[in-house]
A and B are shown apart, each in its own frame.
Chain A
């Protein structure tokens, strides 16, 4: 999982870089194809090529409205949030140095979810635009709690992971208690918690875009530092990287990114875990290629999950989070089969 510094001939390195670039290009291309293929899929079906034409404003009023106002935002958010979540997952795995870590399991997602549930259930008259702020605050607060609790003269990846699991469990318990205490409005909160893009519109896209534009490049910047971190604390220290500080900041950025995606689409399981997992097997562990590849896979996952969710039994909206869970199960069975 960590990048091993081995002396390789320059030609091999270049070839590796190029093949990684090819893989990434294929991933994004695939995501584009899926985007267009599912553009008209939903409660109101618009077949291709009318759907693509509608995207540019040609076609009946219904077609244009459906594609532009409802399908397009969902696809854009799938790209932006799915990709961001996968990137955040890759970063978290890099810091904790464990391929099984993800924002889901170390408490961030649950913290954001708890904050949103509290606002949704306890203050239903509060403006809906407070929800993203709540999710953001919840995620960051969760990470702060995890960090403080894991700090004993410094943190180790192991302690971060374990405390993260424990804090996540605590938030989950509180979420369940709040839901039981306020049973009346449970339905909406539950749909939200499972993760869904059903309520997304262009305003959501514009609200989310700044987060992506600010945080993703920061992630990339720190990706190089993460590669150094992967060499082990002593070696990295020797190379002049203030290990603890970098770990802290990198984790913070990932947490901010993950919290923002929770604010937008609820808690969608596994994108932050499976995305980097698969990406690592395709392009290796260097973050410069791992992050874009993860983003591509994350986007693909959410695109497919959302398309299935809205297209399989219209007008019923099956939450995308349930589909990703359904996808996750066979993937883990596959891993099990391979490891036997």
Chain B
């Protein structure tokens, strides 16, 4: 039932995103534009739909969905309700790596950038975990969250500083600070799609294990699971999903945190259901956010990430307030 609702929500958003823009385009043209197989048509509206709106809506869906799934996996393997790529530093690591690389090595192609993005994401994750484990006390969710925020601030300060000193144009890093899909093209969709598909597959493969892991490390070990392996594969999935998302759309905030929570409230904790539905909800959320970003500033575009940042923050506060988090 929820699945149906979410699907409808997503489809409505998707179609809406493809239908609106600066020029009104008729439904017939829209449909033609979607199913267009080549750019051989002369019809400008159809080309606009096919070459601009469609990849933008698709990328928004992919990025939103990917981040949501990454959030689910992170929350499960760290047993931290505040787990998300942007909160635990992963997004920051990826964003800084790509921002610096594309500024310092301008010729770097799409695949080179993605690999760097993965590297940045993985390194940031390692830093966060290392920082959180240091000293007495266990790897508590609070410590993870604090470590994540600390590393994020560190990386963003670094990036801001370097861009200020070396870049010609300060408005460049709005993109790298908030993220967005405003300039999406098929090129970005093609670059990110395979990695996100692998990441999603990995997550689904882990679904059963994650269900068991949720019962507690001891229980899982007692049932014969290799929890270390589960966490490792899970981390790879997160790096792939978040790394690819950030490489093409910048560090989009809060979807990875909030979508899993909403889905869990609606359907419970079974990962076989939670993961795909989070994908749907995350996709829908970012598609709607992207639509909203076209109307925020009159006459121009705002980075789509700013909408999720502004709307997600109060929800984050609600979550932080409510969570019964063990020390």
A residues neighboring B (CB under 8 Å): 1, 98-102, 104-105, 149-150, 152, 158-159, 161-163, 165-170, 172-174, 176-177, 179-181, 183, 186-187, 190-191, 193-194, 269-270, 273, 316, 318-319, 321-326, 328-329, 332-333, 335-340
Contact = CB atoms under 8 A, between A and B. Distances in A.
Nearest to A323: B161
Of listed B133, B162, B164, B310, residue having the most chain A CB within 10 A: B164
Nearest to A335: B134
A340 B161 contact: no
How large, as a class, is the contact surface on chain B? 35 or more
Contact of B158 (A159, A166, A329): A329
Of listed B157, B160, B254, residue having the most chain A CB within 10 A: B157
A100 B127 contact: no
Interface of B: 82, 87, 126-127, 129-137, 142-143, 145-147, 149-151, 153-155, 157-158, 160-162, 164-165, 170-171, 174, 177-178, 253-254, 297, 302-303, 306, 309-310, 312-314, 316-317, 319-321, 323, 325, 327
Given A166-B313, A325-B158, A269 B319 contact: no
A76 to B, nearest CB: 24
Of listed B87, B130, B142, B160, residue having the most chain A CB within 10 A: B142
A98 B142 contact: yes
Of listed A169, A170, A337, residue having the most chain B CB within 10 A: A169
A335 B130 contact: yes
24 contacts: A1-B136, A98-B142, A100-B143, A100-B147, A100-B150, A102-B150, A104-B150, A159-B321, A162-B82, A163-B321, A165-B82, A169-B149, A169-B254, A172-B309, A173-B178, A173-B312, A180-B302, A181-B297, A187-B170, A318-B161, A321-B157, A322-B162, A325-B158, A326-B161
Contact of B146 (A98, A187, A191): A98
Nearest to A163: B320
A162 B161 contact: no
A168 B146 CA distance: 11
Contacts of B302: 180
B142 to A, nearest CB: 5
A68 to B, nearest CB: 28
Nearest to A99: B135
B309 A332 contact: no
